[in-house]
Amino acid sequence: MKSVLVFIESLDGGGAEAIFKNIVSVIDKSKFDLTVVTETDGERYTDEVRRNVRHRCFVKSNGLPLFNKAVIKYSLLAPESLIRNTLIRGKYDVEIAFCEGYATKIIGNSGKKNTKKIAWVHTDVINHPWSEAVFGGTENEKKCYENFDAIVCVSETMRESFVKKYGMAEKVHVIYNVIDDADIVKKSSENVTLDLQRPLLTLAGRLTAIKGYDRLVRVCAKLRDLGYDFSVAILGKGEEEENIRKQIEENALADRIKLLGFQENPQKYIADSDVFVCSSYAEGYSTAVSEAVVLSVPVVTTECSGMREIFGNEECGIICENSDDGLFEAMKKVLDEPSLLEKFKSAEKRRATAFSTASRIKAVEDFIDNI
């Protein structure tokens, strides 16, 4: 049995965290002895991860506030090798940093030699280089990645960006996200009681600037002014919520766009919608768009990493130019030609087989086993 450490900063409600939860739920426990370490506990997926594998955290939610504050400060300021030895601890055959940024910095710069190291990258490092700030610049980030034996990107377009920016092509691989297709379908069958005008367009994801909700509001205002009837449901929470709410009010769209907040079961809302929209400026490999395809909900998405790979050779919707005008034209097209939706649904039913949990977890297991 191979001992594996996975360090992931958070188990809260983001896409990477959801994918990680899926992996630990179905990975073969007879082959891998997993230990998961996070900064804090009490997050959205903490209990589910704990039910499946060993879990430790830097600080506990019920711990003394001053002690927790001191530990977190130490985790941010101490040398990476000290953090690895005092807060993470243990010896493992394989160590995985499951997200770019802080986790990658700690595992990559830990100084541990007698272990294989894997960095799991969930962002386009050219179009959304947010993790550079964690390292203090591009060169420091590149040096850290050079300490890994393998780097996993979750889409081919992300791999291309990584290699273009940092090189190391020989050790950069693609493994697609593991999603629980059976669970998605099961959850989608729950009843939804939304009294919203049709057609209903749904978006789901953390309310952050990179998700492009600002331009979604601008596009909706333009479509409304042209006389189009529709409504929009936005699922999620995040730091941009008040800004989005303000934009909705300023554009007099409160009757059209509803912020539904965080939903424990977003799949039932996606399944109930006529179109799923992704307005993002950048993505890695969108879990929400993948779920929409599994549920045969037509997709309108901006051109981001992974979108063409999610669609495969099928026309599961419209992938538009990554701009306000591109999103406007795509949304206008599905409103003008509702007959397209049935065509997209048929294509998605064919494409859904590509998201099999069994095939995707096998790719993960084989990769870790052979590293």
Q: Per-residue pLDDT tens for 223-264?
A: 999 999 999 999 999 999 999 999 999 999 999 999 999 998
Contacts of 33 (CB under 8 A, 6+ apart): 1, 2, 3, 4, 54
Residue 44 has a pLDDT of 87
Does pLDDT of 352 surpass 90? yes
Half-sphere exposure for 339 (CA within 13 Å, toward CB)? 1
Residue 239 and residue 329 in one domain: yes
Q: Report how far apart the first and last C-alpha atoms of the chain are (Å, whole number).
A: 14
Please say which residue of 125, 159, 175 terminates a domain: 175
Residue located via tokens 């941010």:
76
CB 144 within 8 A of CB 123: no
The whole-model pTM stands at: 0.82
Residue 186 and residue 331 in one domain: yes
Decide: residue 185, CB within 10 A, 0-12 exposed, 13-18 middle, 19+ buried.
middle
Half-sphere exposure for 170 (CA within 13 Å, toward CB)? 2
Does pLDDT of 270 surpass 90? yes
CB 263 within 8 A of CB 273: no
Residue 140 and residue 266 in one domain: no
Residue 162 and residue 208 in one domain: no
For the chain, the domain total comes to 2
Contacts of 68 (CB under 8 A, 6+ apart): 59, 60
Does pLDDT of 51 surpass 90? yes
The domain in which residue 26 lies consists of 2-175
Residue 14 has a pLDDT of 76
